Structure 1
Amino acid sequence: MSLSISMPLRRLGRLFCLSSALVAPAAFADSYTDFQQASGQLEALMAKATSQSGLPRLGDPGVAQLFAHIADGPRLFQAPVTALQDMNQSVALCERSTNLGKSYYQFGLTRPLPLSGAELQQARREQVTQNLADYGDEMAALFAFGMHCHAHLIGLMEKEFSSQPLPEVSSAERMRARAFSKGSSTMFVNVVQFVQVPFWNVAQKKRMLEAAGQHAAANANLMAPPLRERLLTSLVDADKDLDPALAPALAAIRQALSVTTCTGLCQYY
């Protein structure tokens, strides 16, 4: 499928609306504490980054260990962590990860340039394209984590709204559920459509799509059936020249999108 550069870059922008120093050892206690401590250490390394040194990469000393604690969604959300049963603390965790991803995506974009107008816009696009080339592995890890994190939030929202009969849900709560459903669906759609854009290598796509496939049913259940159908239609050419490693996750996503019933949070979309 032939796509312009600007379209996937805009999708990345919407989605993320995620050194020379050695990483200091930390006494990790549980998966939630691991995430918070590792995020703080990665943020500290990012704060020291320069255009010459670049941002921390998985190949740098200690950084892979930090990502193991920051981006391991299954470990974090399958554990019975009390803090993550609270919606506000869970949202804060997801936002912290998103901000790490934004730092990779936006690296160098605030640097002043002696350009204006179309030339400046072109330079910014080239910078983002370079960031994707330099930090694709790090972004893919954070995109995949975002799928796990939003699936956790979906579970909390479903639990909250399932305890209330639909006619008794207030207008304000309906709007909150609708906004949540739209935001989570947009993220899911953007990640799924990365299968068709050229910036990611197969391993990066596989990491993101497997996370999306794992939570495809939960995300599809948020969407009104016409939206599911539109996403299915957008994937009609996704099998063209598709690497076989991506086929199982894409099949799981398509199966989830083919469901036409609308119950639960879907009713608020």
Structure 2
Amino acid sequence: MKNIVLLAFLGMSLPSWSIVQRHDVANERYLAQSAPDYLIDMPGEGHGSLIKPNWIVTVAHLIFSDYTGRKITVAGKQFTIEQVIIHPSAHKPNQALLKGDAQPLMDFMKSTSDIALIKLTENVTHVKPIALYATSDEAGKTITAFGRGSTGNGIDGSVFETKREKVLRTMENIVDVAQGNWLSIRLDNTDKGLSLEGIDGSGDSGGPLIITKHNRQYLAGMFSWDYVEGDLQSFKHGLYGGKSYQVRISAYLDWINQQIFSHSDVLINLSSE
């Protein structure tokens, strides 16, 4: 599966492969005991998060078609999608960027805004939305993340076929870089990695990156795309040292707030406090 990673924004899942884990930790330790109430499984694959009673945030490249009127499940109950709002800078790469040296594609990806909002026709009342992380101090902080993508380990890389199992896994990592619209994490080896060190993969796009502060969970990011160096055709995802980029929620608070205000006739405070 050499360049599936390149196909996000083209109607397929570009970025993420799977939650790839340490080779020396039992797979069972990465299995999530239960799904967080705010975690949404998007139509097809990937995830979103409930951030207000009738609002979901997800990555734009998971919006494959017009979802207006479609059903979506939130913590076991179905709701109807009223509207989808895609960020105006959520652009697709052209075909010329999908071959040869990876650097032009990587530069393009950094220039986009992979975020979208979904408005539901009615409020979700049986579960609590997750708060948004509002400060720009993410670098160096530990994140916990979730996803139903494929799996693998840092020595052998991601095994694409395992994504069909749609098993919910969790992982930890440390935010390596927080700059502009993006957070970045790296799959460190056993000497530097956390006890549940992991990185995202196919089917994990939109999965939440959670920072815990004062015993409260905040949505700090969403799985988005993998970073590639060298030739795109020879890229192997999920090896130790590999890194990926995630949508940085704190960079989009104003946009989120503006969209909810303009479509709700009420200004909703989305800060972390």
> Do they superpose with TM above 0.5?
no
Which of structures 1 and 2 has the bigger CA Rg?
Answer: 1
The answer to which structure has the higher strand fraction is: 2
TM-score by length of 1: 0.25
Q: Does 1 or 2 have the higher relative contact order (CA < 8 Å, sep 6+)?
A: 2
